[in-house]
Amino acid sequence: MDSAKQIEHRAAAWLTRRDSGEWTETDEAGLRAWLEEATAHRIAYLRLEMVWSQSQRLKAYAAGLPPGSGERSDWTIPFFDSRQLMAGGDREVLSADAKDRTPDVVEQEKGTTRVGRGRVRVLAVAASVLLAAGVSYFGYRWYTGDPYATQVGVVASMSLQDGSNITLNTASKVRVDLNSRERHIELAQGEAFFAVAKDATRPFVVTAGTKRIVAVGTQFSVRRREDDVRVVVTEGKVRVDGVPGKPGEVLLAAGAIANIREDSVLLQKRAIAQTEEVLSWRTGYLSFRDTPLDQAIQEFNQYNRQKMVAGDSAVASIPLTGKFKATNYDAFVRLLEDGYGIRAQREGERITLSR
């Protein structure tokens, strides 16, 4: 057997070639032959490919930095410890900004044009990341109403200046506006979980279309699909305004799951542990408990570019129980094939499930 170093070098050469964008059929055949030659070759390639494909996820860290990272001459990825984030500095920034109202407005206009040009920044995985480029710099940006978004398959969380924390689910988008009267988050798309820092003088308001969800110090999530809004409360109380048929307000306590549609509202009371399960996406997992397959695949499809479709109603109603990694699409499909005798037919990005 050749030395591990030599083999790794050759594996890396293949992968680099493949990355060049000039990959031909001859190359593909050559690589296949090389991989077949020895198990050690295949393993060296697997190792490198695993990490190389993951390295693209670093994009999340570069969020908010211009391409080529012009703002950072040393090309290192900026990140802070969440502990550092909690340290004193933030408060000062906050008050400094409150004094400088005018620049905020200017910045807001700039922010809007930037979005107009199609540059929505992709949210950093830890918000701390954003702050690292200079606390004050991003400090006042938080007031501008800039959108923060996650791509398909990415779950990301960030801390706000007030100490609150937002976790964004896949393909979601929020606008953040912290001002002296209220902390306003607009959920433009998708789902977000909020851990709200107590501040009785400034309510924490999430708007999702026409619905307003108000909290003082609590933990809850809001999901928006078109005009359907789902609110899940895991701690404390929240108030929902704009609920159909309820001119006043609806109070939701911990354990509540509210599905609000244009003309109806469905309230469920669950054990707190169960509401946490509904929110397991925060750790990258999807939990199902006797969930019909078509609902489960709908959840999965949110995290992946490939889309599963239930071929018929018998398949659609198969109940599923378990906890799955949201982005591990292949494993899920394989489980359906092996465990449920389901046939998965692939056509491009569409996978049809049938028996």
Partner 1 sequence: MTDSLDDWFRREILVYEASLTRYLHRAWRHSQDVADLRQEIYVKVYEAAATARPQSPKSFLFTTAQHLVISRFRRTRVVSIESVGDFDDLSVSQEELSPERRLDARQQLRRLAEVMNRLPPKCRQVIWLRRIDELPQKEVAERLGISVRTVESHILKGMRLLTEGFLGQGTAAALDDETHKSDKENEHGQR
Q: What are the residues binding partner 1 (CB under 8 A)?
A: 1, 3-5, 7-9, 12-13, 15-17, 19-21, 38-40, 42-44, 46-48, 50-52, 54-62, 67-69, 74-77, 79, 125-126, 155-157, 283-284, 327, 330-331, 334
Residues contacting 30, CB < 8 A, separation 6+:
none
- Which long-range contacts does 201-205 make (Cβ < 8 Å, 24+ apart)? 202/162, 202/178, 204/164
User: Which residue, 59 or 198, is less far from partner 1 as judged by CB?
Assistant: 59
User: Which residue, 76 or 313, is less far from partner 1 as judged by CB?
Assistant: 76
User: Which residue, 226 or 349, is less far from partner 1 as judged by CB?
Assistant: 349
Rounded to a whole number of angstroms, the minimum distance from the CB of residue 135 to partner 1 is: 19
Rounded to a whole number of angstroms, the minimum distance from the CB of residue 284 to partner 1 is: 5
Rounded to a whole number of angstroms, the minimum distance from the CB of residue 133 to partner 1 is: 14
Contact 216, 201 (CB under 8 A): no
Rounded to a whole number of angstroms, the minimum distance from the CB of residue 38 to partner 1 is: 8
Rounded to a whole number of angstroms, the minimum distance from the CB of residue 22 to partner 1 is: 9
User: Which residue, 125 or 229, is less far from partner 1 as judged by CB?
Assistant: 125
Burial of residue 199, with CB atoms counted within 10 A of its CB: 0-12 exposed, 13-18 middle, 19 or more buried:
middle
Contact 229, 264 (CB under 8 A): no
The pair of structure tokens assigned to 200 is 């009785």
Q: Which of 74, 81, 78 is nearest to 137 (CA)?
A: 78
